[in-house]
Amino acid sequence: MAIKANTTITALASALLIVISVLWTQVVRAEPKIGVVDMKKFLLNSPDLKTSMEALKDKFEPRRQEMLKMQSEAKSHPNDDDLQREFNRQAIEFQNSAYAARTAATQVVERSIVDTIRKYAATEQFDVVGSEAPYLIDPPFGIFATPVDITDNVLALIRNPGATPAARSAPAPAFPGAKIGVVTGVNSSTRSATEKSRIRNYAIEHGFAIVLDTVYYAKPQITITDVTTDVKALLK
């Protein structure tokens, strides 16, 4: 009887282990693969942006010299209202023109960087790639889905555009659709613990799995929703 009972217990334990193993495998298969990147680091190390800024410096240098000369004249004639107004007008015009040119050049480089991020993410089979500091990765994802910083990997591709990331031989397990929240213009590093808690609570209440301030890449089955307006209202 004792041997039979032990055999029965062993069989039940084995069956339980099999069930747990199956459930564990199902959970792991459902975990998202999350990548994060540092866009500032990309821009600081971008050879294309450096080249563009040097070209703009050369382009605007003659006009800058003219403005410096005009500034000197304005300082020498403080009572000449017409000269003061004209200098102020031209100075503002010059600043706006230079700022617009820098912004346009930076946006071109940023678009190229995002294309590289997407290329790397698709090849490495990430589900979503966003900014470096997620506001929330909600359970059950938070148990398994630790964001992977892929900044240096993408930076290597930026520096060597001809390189191609090695494609994986087997497809990644399917990750079911999830709601991703995007909060733009709300710098998480300057927010208090209370404010961050409000953002997390809002996300959980509305069924968001992950909240980021920028999403650079996401698989088609993932729903991305901009919740900036709601979040800013919470923080007032």
pLDDT tens profile 130-168 = 887 666 665 545 544 678 899 999 999 988 877 666 555
Report, as an integer, the average pLDDT of 163-191.
64
Given this model, what pLDDT does residue 166 score?
Answer: 59
Given this model, what pLDDT does residue 196 score?
Answer: 76
Given this model, what pLDDT does residue 97 score?
Answer: 96
What percent of the chain shows pLDDT beyond 90? 41
Tokens of 53: 């800024």
Rounded distance between C-alpha atoms, residue 83 and residue 103, angstroms: 30
Report, as an integer, the average pLDDT of 201-219.
84
Tokens of 111: 């678009």
Given this model, what pLDDT does residue 136 score?
Answer: 62
Given this model, what pLDDT does residue 179 score?
Answer: 77
Instruction: Identify residue 188 by its one-letter amino acid code.
Output: S
Instruction: Identify residue 231 by its one-letter amino acid code.
Output: V
Report, as an integer, the average pLDDT of 203-225.
83
Residue-wise pLDDT tens digits, 30-75: 567 889 999 999 999 999 999 999 999 999 999 999 999 999 999 9
Given this model, what pLDDT does residue 131 score?
Answer: 84
Residue 26 pLDDT exceeds 60: no
The better pLDDT of the pair 235, 164 is held by: 235
Given this model, what pLDDT does residue 143 score?
Answer: 47
The better pLDDT of the pair 184, 24 is held by: 184
Report, as an integer, the average pLDDT of 192-200.
78
Residue-wise pLDDT tens digits, 86-104: 999 999 999 999 999 999 9
Name the strand (E) or helix (H) holding 182: strand 179-182
Rounded distance between C-alpha atoms, residue 208 and residue 138, angstroms: 8
Long-range CB pairs of 44-49, under 8 A, 24+ apart, other chains included: 45/155, 45/158, 45/159, 46/109, 46/113, 46/158, 47/158, 47/159, 48/109, 48/112, 49/105, 49/106, 49/109
Rounded distance between C-alpha atoms, residue 77 and residue 23, angstroms: 82
Given this model, what pLDDT does residue 27 score?
Answer: 42
Mean pLDDT of the chain: 79
Residue 16 pLDDT exceeds 60: no
Which one, of 108, 105, 106, 113, lies nearest residue 129 by Cα? 113
